[in-house]
Amino acid sequence: MDSYDFIVVGGGIAGASAGYELAAHGRVLVLERESQPGYHTTGRSAALFVQTHGPSVIRALSRGAKSFFLDPPAGFADHPLLTERGMLLIGRADQSELLEQNLDQSSRHIAGVRRLDPKQVCRLVPLLKEDYLVGAVLDPEAMDMDVHAIHWGFIRGMRARGGMLVTDAELRGLERTGEAWIARTAAGDFAAPVVVNAAGAWCDVVGAMAGAAPIGLVPKRRTAFIFDPPPGADIAKWPSVIDVGEEFYFKPDAGKFLGSPADQTPMEPCDAQPDDFDVALAVDRIQRAARIPVAHINRKWAGLRSFVADGCPVVGYDPRVEGFFWLAGQGGYGIETSPSMGRLTASLALRRGVPSDLAEQGVTEAVVSPARFTCG
């Protein structure tokens, strides 16, 4: 049986970034059930890098990822991973307080964040309706990510460090024998003292195979779709437009618009499919806010964003199951935080604590620890 130092379950962005960082310290095997490692949530995102949304630990992890994205290691990618976009968090009169709260929180760390009045908003996105708006918060540092390049940069980098990705390798069982886990998979059996659970929406399913208590992970479906901008509208440089109450968003995407109702429907882990009602809801909300006739949907999809109760990620050894490491609960932020999450995983798996730069940003072991659920 082939033996490794670390077996990582799941080849999405979480498993790939963890595998990349762990491969600098030992022999790594990443197991992926599907033929393509980006088949589930990683391949279905809106590709936005934002440092001003989510719980404060997510914001800290995103800030900690920025320098990696802007200046990745040599050979990681052959073109920039981030491109300028900007984000407008728009609000109606009944959402004024939410805008103020966001401005207060976001401007603490990102200097360029500022409040705009409806006229200024419409100068940036002329198709928005001035009378719909009370104003917006502009985050000029929000950017588009090249998710495919980031994901494959981690996988290629891991391979260059001697790590392996095996696809069509569904994990079916885990047994602890002495110092090692035996992973029974569709592609054979493998052994390692440490298993990293990066199975996305299936993290509690994989946890159960190890005999771990559940962390209460809830996969939530989010729908997205592509539609045409009005003829003649030059949208390439427009910022992403997000409703401050998370009721919808739209953003330019390769000459078209990507839209979403920002839905969060709880589901069992599965190959999530879009629901026409959610698409219609988004179209209705977008058309209330903007003069964008949505005549035709080019493409639609859905993916699962997985959360635990406090909305923060779960990173660390299970306190009750030896050698079992959780990397779960990335919610809607798993791509933008991936360089930080990979480094955090490697450092905690090696029992070296939180990397100092992430600790300076405010990341603590306690806030991400699985013990907050599994010792309840």
Which residues contact ligand FAD (rule: CB under 6 A)? Answer: 9-15, 31-34, 37, 39-42, 44-48, 170-171, 198-202, 206, 222, 224, 303, 305, 330-336
Give the Cα separation of 53 and 346 in Å (integer): 25
Nearer to ligand FAD, 35 or 356 (CB): 35
Both structure tokens of 296: 């035709």
Shortest Å distance, C-beta 155 to ligand FAD: 12
Size of the chain, expressed as the number of residues it contains:
376
Nearer to ligand FAD, 12 or 355 (CB): 12
Q: Which residue from 154, 102, 95, 212 is spatially nearest to 339, judged by alpha carbons?
A: 154
For residue 141, the SS3 value is coil
- The dihedral through the CA atoms of 318, 324, 329, 334 has a sign that is positive
Shortest Å distance, C-beta 197 to ligand FAD: 9
For residue 5, the SS3 value is coil
Give the Cα separation of 203 and 199 in Å (integer): 5
Nearer to ligand FAD, 92 or 222 (CB): 222
Ramachandran angles phi, psi of 110, nearest 5°: -115, 110
Nearer to ligand FAD, 133 or 204 (CB): 204
CA distances from 97 to 107, 121, 134, 135 (A): 15, 18, 11, 11
Shortest Å distance, C-beta 15 to ligand FAD: 6
Nearer to ligand FAD, 122 or 174 (CB): 174
Q: Which residue from 218, 186, 222, 212 is spatially nearest to 200, judged by alpha carbons?
A: 218
Shortest Å distance, C-beta 223 to ligand FAD: 7
Nearer to ligand FAD, 10 or 323 (CB): 10
Shortest Å distance, C-beta 25 to ligand FAD: 20
Shortest Å distance, C-beta 231 to ligand FAD: 27
